[in-house]
Amino acid sequence: MEIKLPNINRVFTEPKYNCNMCQDIGYTFIVNNGYQAAQKCECQIQKENIKKIERSGLQELIKKCTFENFDIKEDYQKHMLCMAKEFIEQKEYPFFYIGGQVGCGKTHICTALSVHYLNKRYSVAYKVYDKIIRNLKANVNDTSLYNKIMYKLQNTEVLYIDDLFKTGNNEKPTDADIRHIFNLINQRYISKKITILSAERNIDEIIGIDEGLGSRIKQMCGPYCIAIRNEKGRNWRLK
């Protein structure tokens, strides 16, 4: 008796991978001095960079605030851009400070600096001064949590603080606020970690609020301490 087998057409396809370089393993292999060694695949590096951007808090600003699209209309803006580009090429001074005129591009320049370090695979954190203070003061009675928050701020590779000492009606910060920020900045001063600061107050005003804090910032900035005079027509947000 003849047995007829069903006609089965098998279709063989190559497996599909998200990354053809490592076939989703996460590593590629190279030969080094006769030995095979594993190295992290570019797809993993890209994933890590995306996570760093998400953790940094810069998602909203990262695309529109670059060196390339900083619009230069006046000499002071050219100076800001030149100093920022010079800053990333040197290692002597770890702090960068821009203070003064509202809406002149301070946040744009400081964000562009932060993006540069993200692209160099540094861990970067963007924090607004007011939110730092509120978070620290809300947890001041929980020593463990307070120290955890402070430790992260003190030790992230690159920290950008926006609107330093910005208060309602331009009032002087409280002694408690100054103490929190001093402890944060002083540790970064000691460890010489990259710190980017923008404010509506120039550095002399910061020194006037707290000489110990202001002088540390000024010392760590060296020539990268920029003051933009308040002048009519320099607030580009109103144009």
Classify each residue of 38-58 as buried b or exposed e, where b means 16 or more C-beta atoms within 10 Å of its C-beta: eeebebbeeeeeeebbeebbb
Q: Is 171 helix (H, G, I), strand (E, B) or coil?
A: coil
- The more confident residue out of 47 and 195 is 195
Q: Is 106 helix (H, G, I), strand (E, B) or coil?
A: helix
Tokens of 71: 């619009």
C-alpha to C-alpha distance for 38 and 133, rounded to whole angstroms? 44
Q: What is the pLDDT of residue 157?
A: 93
Q: What does the domain layout of the chain look like in residue ranges?
A: 14-56, 57-238
Cβ neighbours for 188, distance < 8 A, ≥ 6 positions apart: 94, 154, 159, 195
Which of 50-54, 118-122, 178-182 has the highest mean predicted lDDT (pLDDT)? 178-182
What is the band of 132 on the pLDDT scale with cuts at 50, 70, 90? very high
**Please, are residues 185 and 174 in contact by the beta-carbon 8 Å criterion?**
no
pLDDT tops 80 at residue 14: no
pTM over cut 0.75 = yes
Positive or negative: CA dihedral 59, 128, 215, 193: negative
pLDDT in tens, 45-70: 666 666 666 666 667 777 778 899 88
pLDDT in tens, 28-46: 777 666 677 777 777 776 6
CATH superfamily name and code, 57-238: P-loop containing nucleotide triphosphate hydrolases (3.40.50.300)
